[in-house]
Amino acid sequence: MATHKTRMLIIGSGPAGLSAAIYGARAMMEPIVVQGLQPGGQLTITTDVENYPGFKDVIQGPWLMQEMEAQAVHVGTRMMWDTIVDVDLSGSPFRAIGDSGDIYEGDTLVIATGAQAKWLGVPGEMELGGKGVSACATCDGFFYRGKKVAVIGGGNTAVEEALYLTNHSDDVTLIHRRDELRSEKILQERLFANPKIKVLWNKAVDRFVGDPLSGGLTHLALRDTVTGETSDFAADGAFVAIGHAPATELFKGKLPVDEGGYLIVEPGTPKTAIPGVFACGDVMDHTYRQAVTAAGTGCMAALDAERFLSGLSIDLMGHAEKAEAI
């Protein structure tokens, strides 16, 4: 068991956390990144990435995250292979306890724990992930130009995904397990008015069918939620759009969250309700959820952490105290 001290502690190692680390390291804050259960974040389970600025050719998500981590380490970040199981935000230095038993102390804390797409949990879903099954139309819709696609869900996320996909496909089907949508009325009006979108009511997906090694998804095995009748629905791509779950369990009761569980920040900033504690990336962003926006808020968190520390003096024990005016 050991205690690790830093001027900037970062929990999470996706684009937000690593961007914060790069900026923090360049500001000589010697950041520590605790990587968590999914080092590299959601991009490590994404194959083709075509919308991250700076690359004219398609790149691979895991490769991009390896490069980000290498850059962060190169400029002075310490990467720790651990998972945080508890935090103490009662005052600076902020403390985080790892599953290893190690303690991490930071004069500032950057929360970049991200969010995970909710999945149906049916056979074929994980096996065909990136091979016809996705949870992000904005990320992957481009690969289905002119093809037949399905969206599963009935809330705002599903309707927004279906509408977005009409930019690429003339054959979009929304599959919903009930007989009415839960999305906002204005979104429903746009959906029903779009000639490229059809709706299958009272249908649940029992299985995604296809060959991950050749061709990918071929069809969805459906079940009627009223009659129990089964059927097959042919599709080239299927987008699971039943929402996202931000990784905020650690901070429940310690930081304010909205009704969706996302950390609440001061509008236009990564500042949480506790001075010196910042949140960036998908853990506070339920609107955009893109790698590039996560990286941008990570940069903002590091810059704000540096400004926060500029009003503090660090004593010899590594604790932060307000600098007295001379």
Active site residues: 136, 139-140
How far is the C-alpha of 107 from the C-alpha of 3, rounded, in Å?
A: 14
How far is the C-alpha of 310 from the C-alpha of 117, rounded, in Å?
A: 37
Give the count of beta carbons closer than 10 Å to the beta carbon of residue 270: 29
Q: With beta carbons less than 8 A apart as the criterion, state whether 171 and 148 touch.
A: yes
Q: With beta carbons less than 8 A apart as the criterion, state whether 103 and 97 touch.
A: yes
Tallying the residues shown for the chain, one arrives at: 326
How far is the C-alpha of 181 from the C-alpha of 199, rounded, in Å?
A: 10
How far is the C-alpha of 249 from the C-alpha of 261, rounded, in Å?
A: 9
Q: With beta carbons less than 8 A apart as the criterion, state whether 16 and 295 touch.
A: yes
How is residue 131 annotated by DSSP?
A: T
Residue keyed to tokens 């080239």: 236
- 282 is written with which tokens? 């998908």
How far is the C-alpha of 274 from the C-alpha of 171, rounded, in Å?
A: 48
Helix (H, G, I), strand (E, B) or coil at 52: coil
CA atoms within 13 A on the CB side of 302: 28
User: What separation in angstroms does the CA of 313 have from each of 63, 90, 279?
Assistant: 39, 19, 23
